[in-house]
Amino acid sequence: MVPPVKRKGTHDELQGSAFVEQASWHQGMIAGKSPFLRGPYLSMYVHKPWTIRQYAGFSTAAQSNEFYKKNLAAGQTGLSIAFDLPTHRGYDSAADEAVADVGKAGVAIDTLDDMCALFEGIDMSKVSVSMTMNGAVLPIMAFYIAAAQRQGVEQHQLRGTIQNDILKEFMVRNTYIYPPEASMEVVAQVMEYCTHKMPLFNSISISGYHLQEAGASTAQELAYTLADGWAYVRAAQEKGLSVDDIGPRLSFFWGISMRCVDELAKLRAARVLWCRIMKLMGAKNEKSWALKTHAQTSGWSLTAQWPKNNLTRTAVEAISAVLGGTQSLHTNSFDEALALPTDDSARWARNTQIYLQGEAGLTRPIDPLGGSYLLEERTLSLIDEAWEIITEIEQLGGMTQYVLAGTPKKSILKAAAKTQAQIDAGTYPIVGVNAFIAHELEKPHLRYIHLDEVLENQCNRLIEHKLKRDTALCAQSLTALKKAALDKKTNLLEASVVAAHHGATLGEISEVLVQVFGRYQPEPTGVTGVYQAELKTQASFIRSVSTGESWAKKNGRKPKILLAKMGQDGHDRGLYAVAAALSDQGFDVKMTPLFQTPEQVGYMVQNWGADLVSISSMTNGHGALVPSLCQWLKKLGLGHVKVILGGIIPENDIDSMKAHGVDLIFGPGTDLTSAAQDIYQLLNEDIKND
Touching another protein, residues 112-141 (CB under 8 A): none
Least distance in angstroms from the C-beta of 268 to another protein: 12
Least distance in angstroms from the C-beta of 8 to another protein: 8
Q: Which stretch binds another protein (CB under 8 A): 27-35, 240-248, 557-565, 651-659?
A: 27-35
By beta-carbon proximity to another protein, the closer residue of 95 and 264 is 264
SS3 of residue 4 by DSSP: coil
Name residues contacting another protein, limited to 439-468 (CB under 8 A). 440-442
7 near another protein, rule: CB under 8 A: yes
Of 142, 112, 135, the closest CA to residue 461 belongs to: 112
Torsion of CA 424, 430, 433, 439, to 10 degrees: 150
Q: How many CA atoms lie within 13 A of 109 on its CB side?
A: 37
- Name beta bridge partners: 647: 617
Least distance in angstroms from the C-beta of 313 to another protein: 6
By beta-carbon proximity to another protein, the closer residue of 362 and 506 is 362
Q: Which stretch binds another protein (CB under 8 A): 6-14, 101-109, 164-172, 586-594?
A: 6-14
Least distance in angstroms from the C-beta of 312 to another protein: 4
Least distance in angstroms from the C-beta of 301 to another protein: 8
Measured between alpha carbons, how far is 262 from 13 in angstroms, rounded to an integer?
Answer: 36
By beta-carbon proximity to another protein, the closer residue of 165 and 336 is 336
Q: How many CA atoms lie within 13 A of 177 on its CB side?
A: 29
Residue 219's H or E segment, with its range, is helix 218-238
List the 664-666 sheet strands across, edge first: 588-591, 560-564, 612-617, 642-647, 664-666
Residue 516's H or E segment, with its range, is helix 506-517
429 near another protein, rule: CB under 8 A: yes
By beta-carbon proximity to another protein, the closer residue of 445 and 634 is 445
Name residues contacting another protein, limited to 262-281 (CB under 8 A). 262, 264, 276, 279
By beta-carbon proximity to another protein, the closer residue of 218 and 620 is 218
Measured between alpha carbons, how far is 82 from 451 in angstroms, rounded to an integer?
Answer: 16
By beta-carbon proximity to another protein, the closer residue of 315 and 638 is 315
The 8-class DSSP code of residue 178 comes to: S
| Contact track, another protein, 326-355, x by CB under 8 A | ------------------x---x--xx--x
Q: Do residues 302 and 337 make contact, with C-beta atoms less than 8 angstroms apart?
A: yes
Measured between alpha carbons, how far is 625 from 599 in angstroms, rounded to an integer?
Answer: 10
State the CB neighbour count (10 A cutoff) for residue 621: 23
Q: Which stretch binds another protein (CB under 8 A): 12-20, 80-88, 89-97, 623-631?
A: 12-20
Of 116, 127, 431, 687, the one binding another protein by CB under 8 A = 431
Torsion of CA 64, 68, 70, 75, to 10 degrees: 160
Question: Amino acid letter at 409?
Answer: K
Measured between alpha carbons, how far is 42 from 47 in angstroms, rounded to an integer?
Answer: 9
Least distance in angstroms from the C-beta of 22 to another protein: 7
By beta-carbon proximity to another protein, the closer residue of 133 and 375 is 375
Residue 348 phi, psi (nearest 5): -65, -35
Of 150, 159, 197, 308, the one binding another protein by CB under 8 A = 308
Q: Which stretch binds another protein (CB under 8 A): 2-10, 228-236, 237-245, 568-576?
A: 2-10
Name residues contacting another protein, limited to 193-252 (CB under 8 A). none
Of 62, 316, 636, 687, the one binding another protein by CB under 8 A = 316
Of 53, 89, 268, 313, the one binding another protein by CB under 8 A = 313
287 near another protein, rule: CB under 8 A: no
Q: Do residues 385 and 394 make contact, with C-beta atoms less than 8 angstroms apart?
A: no
By beta-carbon proximity to another protein, the closer residue of 380 and 495 is 380
Least distance in angstroms from the C-beta of 374 to another protein: 5
Measured between alpha carbons, how far is 155 from 193 in angstroms, rounded to an integer?
Answer: 11
Question: Amino acid letter at 79?
Answer: L
State the CB neighbour count (10 A cutoff) for residue 71: 22
Name residues contacting another protein, limited to 29-88 (CB under 8 A). 29-35, 37, 42-43, 46-47
List the 250-256 sheet strands across, edge first: 201-202, 160-162, 129-131, 78-81, 51-56, 328-330, 293-297, 250-256, 204-207
Q: Which stretch binds another protein (CB under 8 A): 22-30, 448-456, 470-478, 622-630?
A: 22-30
Measured between alpha carbons, how far is 190 from 110 in angstroms, rounded to an integer?
Answer: 20
Of 200, 435, 486, 659, the one binding another protein by CB under 8 A = 435
Name residues contacting another protein, limited to 357-386 (CB under 8 A). 359-362, 364-376
Q: Is the dihedral of CA 109, 111, 113, 115 positive or negative?
A: positive
Measured between alpha carbons, how far is 296 from 310 in angstroms, rounded to an integer?
Answer: 14
Exposed, middle or buried by CB within 10 Å (0-12, 13-18, 19+), for 342?
middle
Least distance in angstroms from the C-beta of 320 to another protein: 9
For the chain, what's the residue count?
Answer: 690
By beta-carbon proximity to another protein, the closer residue of 92 and 317 is 317
Total of residues contacting another protein (CB under 8 A): 85
By beta-carbon proximity to another protein, the closer residue of 260 and 664 is 260
- Mind telling me the catalytic residues? 55, 209-210, 565, 569, 571
589 near another protein, rule: CB under 8 A: no
Q: Which stretch binds another protein (CB under 8 A): 156-164, 207-215, 261-269, 562-570?
A: 261-269
Measured at the alpha carbon of residue 352, what is the angle toward residues 224 and 125, in degrees to the nearest 5?
75
Q: Do residues 86 and 138 make contact, with C-beta atoms less than 8 angstroms apart?
A: no
| Contact track, another protein, 383-422, x by CB under 8 A | ----------------------------------------
Least distance in angstroms from the C-beta of 231 to another protein: 21
By beta-carbon proximity to another protein, the closer residue of 113 and 263 is 263
Least distance in angstroms from the C-beta of 316 to another protein: 6
